[in-house]
Amino acid sequence: MSDATLPGVTLTAPRRMGHAAFWLAAAAVGLAVILALRGIGSEYVYFVSTIVLQYVVLATAWNILGGYAGYVNFGAAAFFAAGAYATVAFGKAMGLGLLPCIGLAAVVGGALGFGTGVLTLRLRGAYFAIATLCLSVVLQTIVVNWSYVGGSRGAYVLRPRDVPWPFETYSGFLCAVLVVLAAASVAIARTIETSRLGLGLAALRDDEQAAEATGVPTLRLKLVATTVSGAMMAVAGAPLPFIGSYVEPGSAFGLSYAVNAIAMPLIGGTSSWAGPLIGAVLLSSLQQAATVTISSAANLLIVGVLLVVFVCAAPHGIIGLFRGRR
């Protein structure tokens, strides 16, 4: 008997929440988080949450190219720093506040992502990864020698005295902005994943030539992925100068951003929007806990150990563990 004639065969495709419903759910969760954080009202909790949420945006953004399309970007720190320095440059040049600077950082990051894509997307595997790593080195060298944004000595960014209503402190406002950015980035990632674009990216990740042979315009899709991913990574970095009121090349282009951007999706699972979210919350919370209980130097050690454990024991991340049990 052929498979086609098997009685009672039904597809087991899971019912998916629609795009609009997911965006609404993300907005509701975001609002709940903002209210919960406001209820706690601690400056330290605001600070820690801001860092964790920044990593949620960064990891989710990285995963759009690295996870969905399978192009490993070692230059996450370059995009993150591009966002941070876009805030410094536009803030200084035009006196803009955080929100417009985030928008402009997205434009800068998107343009940088598009340019990187045009130059490097004909490369594959390790060659693409090395090219993106070089981007980080080139960009850092430019910033170090650009005195307008502080050069190697860094730049100070003063927080505005007026705190937007209804927030009581600027830290609370900053944290709420990051909640919105994190919710939006997760919703964008999920929208891409479950759309025609996500299907095409998954196809080219598995086999680029076969994807082309089935009508997928692989180069165009990769350019879309690098642009969106670059824009979102820059958005993650845009609030950085306001978090510490100071930014310098060594920290903005820091190894921790490049490593975490890769490690968080890998630990959470790269095949789903939930993977980078879980990985970022888990790993950055652990790092913050280690910072206050052990030392800040333990951060990368934790990342390294967890990465080795997950690569060996759970190559598809936490999400993969759950899917494997079903």
Partner 1 sequence: MSDIVLRADGVGKRFGGFTALSGINLEVRAGERLGLIGPNGSGKSTFTNCLAGAFPSHDGGFTFKGEKLAGLKSHERARRGLARTFQLPRPFRGLSVIDNIRVPLAYAGREAATDEAAMACLESVELAGKASRMPKELTQVELRRLELARATALKPDLLIADEAMAGLSHTEVDQILALLFRLNERGTTIIMIEHVMRAVTEFSQRIAVLVAGKKVADGDPRAVLSMPEVEEAYLGR
Binding site for partner 1 (CB under 8 A): 2-4, 6, 9, 11-13, 196, 199-200, 202-203, 205-207, 209-218, 271
Query: Minimum distance from CB of 219 to partner 1 (Å)?
Result: 8
Q: Pick between residue 14 and residue 166 the one whose CB is nearest to partner 1.
A: 14
State the Cα–Cα distance between residues 104 and 133, nearest whole angstrom. 24
Query: Minimum distance from CB of 197 to partner 1 (Å)?
Result: 10
Q: Pick between residue 71 and residue 242 the one whose CB is nearest to partner 1.
A: 71
Query: Minimum distance from CB of 100 to partner 1 (Å)?
Result: 37
Q: Which residues contact 246 (CB under 8 A, 6 or more apart)?
A: 154, 155, 156, 157
Which of 207, 93, 214, 212 lies closest to 148, judged by CA?
A: 93
Q: Yes or no: say if 305 and 289 are a contact pair by the CB < 8 Å rule.
A: no
Q: Pick between residue 11 and residue 312 the one whose CB is nearest to partner 1.
A: 11
Query: Minimum distance from CB of 263 to partner 1 (Å)?
Result: 21
Query: Minimum distance from CB of 221 to partner 1 (Å)?
Result: 9
Q: Pick between residue 9 and residue 20 the one whose CB is nearest to partner 1.
A: 9
Q: Pick between residue 200 and residue 239 the one whose CB is nearest to partner 1.
A: 200
Q: Yes or no: say if 142 and 251 are a contact pair by the CB < 8 Å rule.
A: no
Pinpoint the alpha helices (H) of the chain. Answer: 19-40, 43-63, 76-94, 98-120, 125-144, 170-193, 196-206, 208-213, 218-237, 240-244, 249-252, 255-268, 274-293, 298-313, 317-325
